[in-house]
Amino acid sequence: GQSLEQPSEVTAVEGAIVQINCTYQTSGFYGLSWYQQHDGGAPTFLSYNALDGLEETGRFSSFLSRSDSYGYLLLQELQMKDSASYFCALPSGNTGKLIFGQGTTLQVKP
Amino acid sequence: DVKVTQSSRYLVKRTGEKVFLECVQDMDHENMFWYRQDPGLGLRLIYFSYDVKMKEKGDIPEGYSVSREKKERFSLILESASTNQTSMYLCASSWSGNEQFFGPGTRLTVL
């Protein structure tokens, strides 16, 4: 089967850098995705890593190490609007199906 | 912009009622998904469809069925609603790639 683990909560201050970790177990690896969900809103896609290394998109970066079955989302120059839940997700085969982690709630404080 | 719409934002039903949740996407996506989201449990896949009239069970299909008669529309059906089906229901669609586009969600309360 497939499973993902991520911390349930992370707190950081405005302007800081925060890292949200995700470890996974899967028999077949097709990449690791990250989604953001604001309270009361719909999840939105942030990033996808298929290969080892860092992918950067503005203030957000995502890292993958396939040998360690580990990835993280790095948020820099934190803003209050970054307060949200962040989910890592594993694609399951080529059906487009995703298995989601339980989510990490990020609270950004002034 | 990709748009995924759901028929209701909030819905209140009684135990035993048959409930229909509708989802429509306007991007000609092959794949459509229904999730439920509960605090501390993340998003759990109920059913998904990779083509018209094709469906597959997700992780928690019990008590639910789905219908996909047209490519743009994917319906979730609760045959006989129960209180433990009170939840947020999210629909999503995608091409074969990894990016799923989500609707705004339907918060269903079963009394």
3-state secondary structure of B85: helix
Strand runs (DSSP E) across chain A, as ranges? Answer: 3-5, 9-13, 18-25, 32-37, 44-49, 53-57, 60-65, 70-75, 84-92, 97-100, 104-109
> Among all residues of chain A, which has the CA nearest to that of B5?
A42
> Among all residues of chain A, which has the CA nearest to that of B40?
A102
Asked if the model's pLDDT at residue B111 lies above 80, the reply is yes
Tokens of A60: 């957000």
pLDDT the model gives residue B2: 67
Asked if the model's pLDDT at residue B97 lies above 70, the reply is no
CA distance B83 to A75: 39
Q: How many residues does chain B have?
A: 111
pLDDT the model gives residue B53: 86
- The dihedral through the CA atoms of B38, B64, B105, A56 has a sign that is positive
pLDDT the model gives residue A7: 96
Q: Which of B93, B96, B84 is nearest to B60 (CA)?
A: B84
Chain B residues lying within 8 Å of A97, measured CB to CB: 31, 33, 45, 48, 58
List, as ranges, residues 72-91 from B with C-beta within 8 Å of A. Answer: 90
pLDDT the model gives residue A97: 87
Asked if the model's pLDDT at residue B6 lies above 80, the reply is yes
Q: What is the pLDDT of residues B14-69, one digit of tens each?
A: 999 999 999 999 999 999 999 999 988 889 999 999 989 899 999 999 999 999 99
CA distance A17 to B40: 25
Question: Would you list which residues of chain A are within 8 Å, Cβ to Cβ, of chain B?
Answer: 8, 30-31, 33, 41-45, 48, 87, 91, 94-103
Q: What is the pLDDT along chain A (110 residues), one digit of tens a residue?
A: 789 999 999 999 999 999 999 999 998 888 999 999 999 899 999 999 999 999 998 999 999 999 999 999 999 999 999 999 999 999 887 777 899 999 999 999 99
